[in-house]
Amino acid sequence: LKYMYVMAFAVEEINRNSTLLPGVKLGYRIFDSCSRYPWALQHALGCEYFKTCIIAVKNVNNISVSFPQISYFASCPCLSDRSKFPNFFRTIPSDIYQAWAMAQLAIRFHWTWIGAVIVNNDYGQLAIQVYVFVVTLYQCFYKYHLHIYNDLLQDLVTSKVASGVLGVAIQSSKISGFENYLRNLHPRDTPSYSYFSSSLKHPFTDTSQLRVSYNVYLAVYAAAHALHIFAHNFFFLEKSSLLNFYCFQLLQHLNKVNVTTPQGEMFYFQGADIPAKYDLVNWQNTPEGTLKLVLIGRVDGFDLILNESAIQWSTGSNQVPVSVCSESCPPGTRVATRKGEPVCCFDCIPCAEGEISNTTGSPHCERCPSEFWSDAERTACILRQVDFLSFNETLGITLATAAVSGATVTTAVFVVFLYYRQTPVVRANNSELSFLLLVSLKLCFLCSLVFIGRPSVWACRFQQAAFGISFVLCVSCLLVKTIVVLAVLIKYKLLLILKCNIIYVIICAVWLSLSPPVPQQDLGFQGSKVTLKCAMASVVGFSLVLGYIGLLACTCLLLAFLARKLPDNFNEAKLITFSMLIFCAVWVAFVPAYVSSPGKYVVAVEIFAILASSYGLLLCIFAPKCFIILLRPEKNTKKHLMERGKNCQNHHQSAV
Ligand SMILES: *[C@@H]1O[C@H](CO)[C@@H](O)[C@H](O)[C@H]1NC(C)=O
Ligand SMILES: *[C@@H]1O[C@H](CO)[C@@H](O)[C@H](O)[C@H]1NC(C)=O
Ligand SMILES: *[C@@H]1O[C@H](CO)[C@@H](O)[C@H](O)[C@H]1NC(C)=O
């Protein structure tokens, strides 16, 4: 009823206007559609004697008529299609913008879990499609349930739910003079309708927020302005010619309408539509327990202007309610979508070691650069700690203690031998070779110490040189001892040892001068630490050194094995065989362990091999002698040794 009165009001206002259509009076005729939209249309088409050009239709799907229609309420996006509806205009924005505005609200408040209540028809379905499209653009999904609700807010129960709801409403406006017009209606003037007392407060007479009514008002004015342009173009014609215009002529002029409304806004058509303008409203509780619509912002085209502080949330607090399927992932984790669920439902998986994420909701963890590693929180890359076998850690201390103990024991044996140098046991087996062997063993123990500590350019070279020379000296002493057991006499024992060592020194010098081992950070081994180690620039060089020691050791083992049955003063060949077996076993086991050990354990393995083989030699060769010297002095006599010697046949005593 209000829409009808606003149309009548607008027509009367135009008729009074002396500039818009002077000398022309507009009339109107209202048809009842009986809630069946085509009916009103058919009536209008039937009245051919009227120039009926303005028809406010609610929904004109599939109806195309040849005269212009201006709708105040048909908001279906489908009606924007000019090829299907060339004569259609409307003063209400297409619903496209409404769904877009709602989606913008959800995006603005970071809501990713949304239930939509829609009318189950073209309007609702289209709105939800636009909504899904807009929201999906921002990479979020949601679930919706379709329900049919009519007039949702009038229901008492749902009105409770509705408090705090945000909505997009048709833009509201004021029409000056309209309230007075409504209040002054009197049965005297419109006998067929009941009248409204000017003292009654009723929604009908409330003109504070005119929404659809204002669209009707605009529609009437749009038609009047089109007519004005038409009349203006033909001002030289008779006034009566206005009665003979054709509706299609009006159509052309509707496209040209461009006026300023009394509210100061530009009004023109873009195709069928007017630029989108909406109010953003919030249903708020009043102290009386009723709900009122409060303006909280507006939508102008693609701009959304919102006054957040004006919103009353359903939660009662002024915090924006959270509506998400999963809380966003904190830094240090990454988003992992759940199979078969919307993208906004996800799990947060902590970043793996060596990977970080430093933003909230990160889709993936980033691997730290190779010199860096992740911190405990996995939110930042920190420099990897330089790691090497040092004297400050248990492994380093243990190995150093074992080395120092070995050197001490060797020194002790040396002292014992020196003290008892006149006794037969010491004199029996080339005492000068024994002393040299003890010195070289001590060097072997001590050289393991240079492997511990931060690798430097010189430490890397010195390690291998010291290790090599100690072992070559040691093994060549044993080799010469064995040869002495086998042969009658060698004149230049020390010369042979020297030759062995000179060969080694040449190999070693060539290796260390051409491509020496250099300190290098081992980044390949992943972890919070980066290993600093001496890298073998030349595997051939290192292999040659090991191979040379191996060759000496094998020769020694072979000769000692041949000589093991030969009786000598103090069957030393057996001891040498045994010690060389241990020696070779240790170094054969060393190679695979060395190759497969991670990080600084490579060094530990080498030190272990050095210590194990040195202890093996020390114990096998010197323990039995020390045992006799210190604990069985009665056996350390010339007579005793002579008795052993009598059993020797075809054997030449070595030098005593
Ligand atoms: C409407 O007219 C104004 C000037 O009065 C002009 O600035 C504006 O561009 C026009 N709009 C359209 C859509 O033609
Ligand atoms: C926003 O709303 C608050 C509360 O209604 C009001 O005090 C304030 O003036 C509004 N701000 C703007 C810019 O409209
Ligand atoms: C996050 O990490 C990136 C590199 O992965 C860096 O460029 C950025 O500055 C970091 N941001 C913060 C806030 O730490």
473: domain CATH number is 1.20.1070
Structure confidence at residue 96 (pLDDT) = 84
158-167, 240-249, 337-346, 647-656: segment of lowest average pLDDT: 647-656
Do 591 and 643 reside in the same domain of the chain? Answer: yes
Task: Out of 225, 251, 269, pick the residue that ends a domain.
Answer: 269
* 294 Cα nearest atom in ligand 2: 5
Structure confidence at residue 206 (pLDDT) = 77
Task: Out of 269, 294, 310, pick the residue that ends a domain.
Answer: 269
Do 417 and 460 reside in the same domain of the chain? Answer: yes
Asked if the structure places residue 134 within a domain, the reply is no
- In angstroms, what is the span from residue 264 Cα to ligand 1's centroid? 13
Q: What is the pLDDT of residues 384-406, one digit of tens each?
A: 888 888 898 899 999 999 999 99
Do 402 and 467 reside in the same domain of the chain? Answer: yes
- In angstroms, what is the span from residue 312 Cα to ligand 2's centroid? 12
Asked if the structure places residue 468 within a domain, the reply is yes
196-200, 225-229, 448-452: segment of lowest average pLDDT: 196-200
Share of residues in the chain with pLDDT > 90 (%): 20
Asked if the structure places residue 137 within a domain, the reply is no
**Among 334, 351, 356, 358, residue to substitute to test ligand 3 (most atoms within 8 Å of Cβ):** 358
Asked if the structure places residue 208 within a domain, the reply is yes
359 CB burial (10 A radius; 0-12, 13-18, 19+):
exposed
Give the mean model confidence (pLDDT) for residues 152-163: 58
CATH of residue 45's domain is: 3.40.50.2300
Cα dihedral 193, 197, 201, 203, rounded to 10, equals 10
Do 255 and 403 reside in the same domain of the chain? Answer: no
- In angstroms, what is the span from residue 100 Cα to ligand 2's centroid? 24
Do 434 and 553 reside in the same domain of the chain? Answer: yes
Q: What is the pLDDT of residues 560-616, one digit of tens each?
A: 888 877 765 556 788 888 888 988 898 889 888 888 887 788 889 989 999 999 999
Asked if the structure places residue 299 within a domain, the reply is no
Do 375 and 407 reside in the same domain of the chain? Answer: no
Do 353 and 401 reside in the same domain of the chain? Answer: no
Which ranges of 116-171 does DSSP label H, i.e. alpha helix? 122-137, 156-162
Ligand lying closest to the C-alpha of residue 318: 2
Which amino acids bring their CB within 6 angstroms of ligand 1? 258, 266, 268
Q: How confident is the model at residue 315 (pLDDT cuts 50, 70, 90)?
A: confident
Do 180 and 222 reside in the same domain of the chain? Answer: yes
Do 589 and 618 reside in the same domain of the chain? Answer: yes
Nearest-CA neighbor of 424 among 621, 618, 642, 627? Answer: 642
Ligand lying closest to the C-alpha of residue 257: 1
Say how far apart CA 17 and CA 195 lie, in whole Å: 27
Q: What is the pLDDT of residues 77-99, one digit of tens each?
A: 888 888 888 888 999 998 888 88
Its domain, for residue 420, covers: 394-655
User: Total domain count for the chain?
Assistant: 3
Do 212 and 264 reside in the same domain of the chain? Answer: yes
Task: Out of 213, 244, 269, pick the residue that ends a domain.
Answer: 269
- 3-class secondary-structure state, position 203: helix
Do 196 and 260 reside in the same domain of the chain? Answer: yes
Asked if the structure places residue 371 within a domain, the reply is yes
Asked if the structure places residue 415 within a domain, the reply is yes
- In angstroms, what is the span from residue 329 Cα to ligand 3's centroid? 16
Structure confidence at residue 61 (pLDDT) = 45
Which residues lie across from 333 on neighbouring strands? 350
Which amino acids bring their CB within 6 angstroms of ligand 3? 358, 366
CB 278 within 8 A of CB 169: yes
Do 457 and 598 reside in the same domain of the chain? Answer: yes
Structure confidence at residue 70 (pLDDT) = 87
Say how far apart CA 250 and CA 145 lie, in whole Å: 45
Asked if the structure places residue 451 within a domain, the reply is yes
Nearest-CA neighbor of 347 among 327, 364, 367? Answer: 327
- In angstroms, what is the span from residue 295 Cα to ligand 2's centroid? 10
